[in-house]
Amino acid sequence: MSTANTEAIQSKQIELVSRPEGMPQKSNFELRTAEVGPIQDGEILVKNQWMSVDPYMRGRMKDSDSYVPPFQIDQPLEGGCIGEVVQSRNSDFNEGDMVLGNLGWREYWTSKGDGITKIDPTIAPPQAFLGALGMTGMTAWVGLHKIARLKEGSTVFVSAASGAVGSIVCQLAKAMNCRVIGSAGKKEKIQWLQDKTGIDAVIHYKEVDNLSQELAKHAPDGIDVYFDNVGSEHLEAAIDNLNDFGCCVECGMIATYNATEAPSAPRNLFKVIAKRLRIEGFIVRDHLDSKDEFVRDMAKLIQQDKVVWEETVTEGIANAPDAFIGLFEGDNLGKQLVRLS
């Protein structure tokens, strides 16, 4: 706790100035300056060091109902962030504490401490709590353990396998002695998956004529679980190759986020009935009661060198829109982060 500065601070922030149609453009965003503070009794002032950009944020740029409210025009965006407490008038926080919050896309923010988690940077680098040890890693863990109810020795197909969530899914499944097949769209991503994650096969989906047939080559006995980050043709290929009573874990559908027309695939949903498939979507926030279990599992796997991760880092808040747009162009390997300071 400290005696806080009584002056407001000038803070740069990225605001949404128009709603994207199709692929987001830089013109949809604007860098502006706002006054933050001075803090009041019970509040803290946080200076962000890291922020996350994630595909789900594209859905919040639409003015439509979803599981989270849409971003508002001429207001700063939000997202996971790691920052340092630089002023405190709250007895639960001291200057120098590192905290995890959800007010990214800005340099400074104030809070009374609700929904904020202190992190221990001695366990892992601070930004890891936005990735493998944060909601990204927990999304992978929940999808496999709570939704798929993965069994050892299963065959698992993972789309966007080199992405933030997909790369963790691959490694968690391998830690359970599963056969894992991933898909990616760039040679360097495929090489990384082969070298770092130890998965059994990787499909360069941009270089195959028929994704379903290619998947069948690598899974001649079918697949038991499909972890879906893409949707569309990937989901169709998975349904073709799923064994009876298999499961599609619906985490994301990045192929459709910027679509201006309804996707043509999957065209084979009728197979869901004959195969008795289970297709289940999930939101990781519905499973926060499992967070401690996840952290214990993940920390153990990291200590055993069974989970590694990659980060793509963009420097400076002004470049955050570029980092976000790059997600849909396949620019990132692993977790896409923006370093603010």
> Which residue type does 97 have?
D
Q: Averaged over 304-318, what is the pLDDT?
A: 95
What percent of the chain lies above the pLDDT cut of 90? 90
- pLDDT at 321 exceeding the cut of 70: yes
The topology under which CATH files domain 135-285 is: Rossmann fold (3.40.50)
Q: 229 and 160 in contact (C-beta within 8 Å)?
A: yes
Out of 36-40, 66-70, 73-77, 252-256, least confident range: 66-70
Amino acid 6: pLDDT: 66
Task: Please provide the average confidence, as pLDDT, over all residues in the chain.
Answer: 95
Tell whether pTM > 0.85.
Answer: yes
Domain ranges across the chain? 9-130+310-339, 135-285
Residue 263 pLDDT level (bands cut at 50, 70, 90): confident
- pLDDT computed for residue 260 by the predictor: 85
Q: Residue 303: its pLDDT value, please?
A: 87
pLDDT at 3 > cutoff 60: no
Instruction: Locate the DSSP E strands across the chain.
Output: 9-16, 29-36, 44-52, 75-76, 81-88, 98-101, 108-111, 117-118, 155-158, 179-184, 201-204, 223-228, 242-250, 278-281, 311-315, 335-339
Question: Which segment of 40-49, 170-179, 253-262 scores lowest on mean pLDDT?
Answer: 253-262
Per-residue pLDDT for 56 more than 60? yes
Q: What is the pLDDT of residue 5?
A: 61
pLDDT surpassing 90 at residue 37? no
- Between these two residues, 247 and 66, which has the higher pLDDT value? 247
Report whether pLDDT(318) > 70: yes
Give the pLDDT confidence score for residue 1 in this predicted structure.
53
Architecture of domain 9-130+310-339: Alpha-Beta Complex (3.90)
